[in-house]
Amino acid sequence: MSPVLGSESNPLRVAIVGSGPSGFYAAEALLGAALSVEVDMLERLPVPYGLVRYGVAPDHAKLKAVTKVFAEIAKHPRFRLFGNVALGRDVTPAELGERYHAVIVATGAVSDRKLGIEGEQLPGVYAASDFVGWYNGHPDYADMRFDLSSEVAVIIGQGNVAIDVCRILAKPVQELRRTDIAEHAIEALAQSRVREIHLIGRRGPVQARFTPKELRELGSLPGWQPVVDGEAFEPNKASRAELADPANANSLKNMEILRCFFARPLSPDRKLALRFLLAPRALHGAGRLQRITFDVQRLVGDPFTQQSEPDGYAVELEAGLLFRSVGYRSTAIAGLPFDARRGVLPNCQGRIVSESGQALVGWYATGWVKRGPTGVIGTNRLDSVETVERLLEDLPTLDRPGKSGRPSLIALLEQRLRRAVGFEGWLRIEALEHQRGAQRNKVAEKLTCITEMLLASTTVPGTASF
């Protein structure tokens, strides 16, 4: 009889795909379980940490401190990072499934949602997710160009990403310069002519998705005055019920902050307008964005499920720059089922299921690709714990022969001449980024080119010359 799965002589071999927060929290939960387990983490880029590195705004350094926790997890002797290895590009789901007892997909949500309105393709209209990737030095976005020559910028959507975009547009460049923001972004932002920003939601202030801490920050941007229309403080009956619910404390705090903004005396500062109940209908312009038509909205429905619908009026706004910040979206992975409507891998508490609802033995999901793009970094911890709990419950069904794990993956990658970057390689890249940052008096200067990253991963810091 073969030794039980999870024993020293038959360790549970798990591949985690994606090295963002949900991937690392899944690794933590597995390595902390009372059994023998080997965890191999695949990451398509040579560098780890996903949205912590490429999504968190550069001026929110404290949020990035969680990478210290992830680095500790990576030091575990039974953990190994395979950076520069992508599921679907370098190894297929079938090849991974053959080699590991279980695979946890933690690939997040890298694509963005569209508005689906006329004029969305006009120059001057951008996805917030592209802007975020660009200012954070993500290699996929480093060559993009953002035309910041318009005096009026509009951001559609009222989540925390919209607030990040707003802050980066408005914050003094000398403050951003010290962070790990990409140098190309600093150069472009220093030339920005944006003098007025409209942060626009289709529903009311009670339904806005941003969190109070992030909203409050908009009140302390030097040279900018947040402006709120008095009508924002006349919530309908259902919105009043939402505000009265103790579970909805964030909305109540948001309303208090908005009231403080409203009470400020008008100043000659640049205007940062928070506007509600406006849904973009069409974007107009000859050759580039010039004007936006909005349908004024009213709210319909019961508390917490209120939706917006046109109220019969339209308003126009002249603007040459627009960011749609209406949420991220996961993309399908060839060979795995995908729920295109929700933009997630169909799953039941993390167990990936087929279209007919049948669990795919050995396949799990966690993070945004499991539940959609919601929650803060810490939300992923509980999410990954749930997925790992289900995986451990399934242990008896996962014990199949031939799951040789790491050596077999390494052999496959060698056969394909794919060079994987381990955690030590990442530490070398990180050291070089810090070194380059120190030369510019900033936290770090991220490498934005994959070839440079690969070279740095094998080079002792201080000896590389680019």
Interface residues toward ligand NAP, by CB under 6 A:
60, 115, 156-162, 164, 201-203, 207, 209, 214, 279, 325-328, 373-376
Shortest distance, CB of residue 374 to ligand NAP, whole angstroms?
5
In the bound state with ligand NAP, the residue whose beta carbon lies nearer, of 202 and 428, is: 202
Q: Which residues contact 176 (CB under 8 A, 6 or more apart)?
A: 58, 59, 168, 185, 186, 189
Shortest distance, CB of residue 327 to ligand NAP, whole angstroms?
4
In the bound state with ligand NAP, the residue whose beta carbon lies nearer, of 95 and 120, is: 120
Contact between residue 296 and residue 310 where contact means Cβ atoms under 8 Å apart: yes
Shortest distance, CB of residue 373 to ligand NAP, whole angstroms?
5
Closest chain position to ligand NAP (CB): 159
In the bound state with ligand NAP, the residue whose beta carbon lies nearer, of 44 and 203, is: 203
CA distance 25 to 18: 11
* CB-side neighbour CA atoms (13 Å) of 329: 18
Q: Which residues contact 152 (CB under 8 A, 6 or more apart)?
A: 194, 195, 196, 197, 198, 317, 318, 319, 320, 321
Shortest distance, CB of residue 347 to ligand NAP, whole angstroms?
19
Shortest distance, CB of residue 354 to ligand NAP, whole angstroms?
28
Q: Which residue has the tokens 């090295």?
A: 19
In the bound state with ligand NAP, the residue whose beta carbon lies nearer, of 68 and 75, is: 68
Shortest distance, CB of residue 51 to ligand NAP, whole angstroms?
8
Shortest distance, CB of residue 462 to ligand NAP, whole angstroms?
34
In the bound state with ligand NAP, the residue whose beta carbon lies nearer, of 275 and 351, is: 275
In the bound state with ligand NAP, the residue whose beta carbon lies nearer, of 74 and 156, is: 156
- In one letter, which amino acid is 119? G
CA distance 140 to 162: 21
In the bound state with ligand NAP, the residue whose beta carbon lies nearer, of 207 and 448, is: 207
List 122's β-bridge partners, or say none.
Answer: none
Closest CA to 79 of 42, 48, 43, 39: 39
Q: Please name the helix (run of DSSP H) or strand (run of DSSP E) that holds residue 425, with its range, or none.
A: helix 423-439
